[in-house]
Chain A
Amino acid sequence: MEIGEYQDVQHLKVRTPERSNIGADVNAGSVSDLFPKLVTMQRLCGSTAFALLTIQAHTLLKPGEIECAMQSSGSQDLVSKFLQGNSEFLLNHLFSSPCPVIFAPQSGAAFDCSPVSVVRAETGAATHLAFPVQLGTMGNGFVVFFDARSMLDNDLLIDLHRKSLTVMRERLRLAFGMTAGSENLNDREIECLQLVGNGMKSEAIGEQLSLSVHTVNAYLGSATTKLNAVNRIQAIAKAIRLGVIA
Chain B
Amino acid sequence: MIARGSFIHDLEAHRKCGHLTGGMDLICAYAGARSYLLARTDLYSDRNHDFIVTSNWPFDLVRSFGVSLVDSEARTSEVRRCLQAFEPSFHEIDAAVELSSEYSRRMCLIPHNAGQARLLLVLLFDKDVSLSHDRLRDVALATAYHTSQFPEIVSNNYDLSDLTVREVECLSWIGEGKTSDEIALIIGISRNTVNNYITSIMNKTGAKTRSEAVAFAVRQRII
Residues of A within 8 A of B (CB): 1, 4, 7, 11, 57-61, 95-99, 113-115, 134-139, 153-155, 158, 161-162, 165, 169, 172-173, 176, 190, 196-201, 229-234, 236-237, 240-246
Contact = CB atoms under 8 A, between A and B. Distances in A.
Contacts of B148: 96-99, 115
Contact of A243 (B11, B79, B208): B79
B115 interface: yes
Give chain B's interface secondary structure class.
helix
A197 B84 CA distance: 23
Interface centre among B76, B141, B176 (most CB of A within 10 A): B141
Given A153-B5, A155-B5, A201-B209, A233 B79 contact: no
Given A114-B8, A158-B4, A237-B223, A135 B214 contact: no
A95 B116 CA distance: 6
Contacts of A61: 168-169, 172, 222-223
B212 interface: yes
A59 B221 contact: yes
Contact of B145 (A4, A115, A135): A115
Given A95-B116, A231-B177, A165 B86 contact: yes
B87 interface: yes
B114 A242 contact: no
B9 to A, nearest CB: 6
B183 to A, nearest CB: 12
Nearest to B134: A11
Contact of A237 (B76, B175, B179): B175
A199 B89 contact: no
Contacts of B141: 98, 158, 161-162, 165
Given A135-B85, A135-B113, A229-B177, A198 B172 contact: no
B123 interface: no
Interface centre among B5, B112, B138, B215 (most CB of A within 10 A): B215
A60 B214 contact: no
A233 B175 contact: yes
A61 B175 CA distance: 13
Contact of A136 (B12, B85, B87): B85
A196 to B, nearest CB: 5
Contacts of A245: 77-78
Contact of A95 (B84, B115, B118, B145): B115
A134 B223 CA distance: 19
B107 interface: no
Interface of B: 3-5, 8-9, 11-12, 15, 74-87, 89, 112-116, 118, 133-134, 137-138, 141-142, 144-145, 148-149, 154, 160, 163, 168-169, 172, 174-177, 179, 207-212, 214-215, 218-219, 221-223
A157 B89 CA distance: 23
A197 B87 CA distance: 28
A96 B8 contact: no
Contacts of B142: 158
12 contacts: A11-B137, A61-B169, A97-B148, A115-B12, A135-B113, A136-B85, A138-B78, A161-B141, A196-B211, A233-B210, A240-B78, A241-B218
Given A155-B8, A172-B83, A233-B174, 10 more contacts: A1-B84, A7-B133, A97-B114, A97-B115, A98-B148, A158-B142, A190-B77, A231-B179, A236-B215, A244-B77
Contacts of B77: 190, 243-246
B17 to A, nearest CB: 13
B91 to A, nearest CB: 12
B12 to A, nearest CB: 4
A138 B81 CA distance: 10
A58 B116 CA distance: 12
Nearest to B42: A246
A246 B82 contact: no
A236 B177 CA distance: 10
Given A136-B78, A137-B82, A243-B77, A99 B145 contact: yes
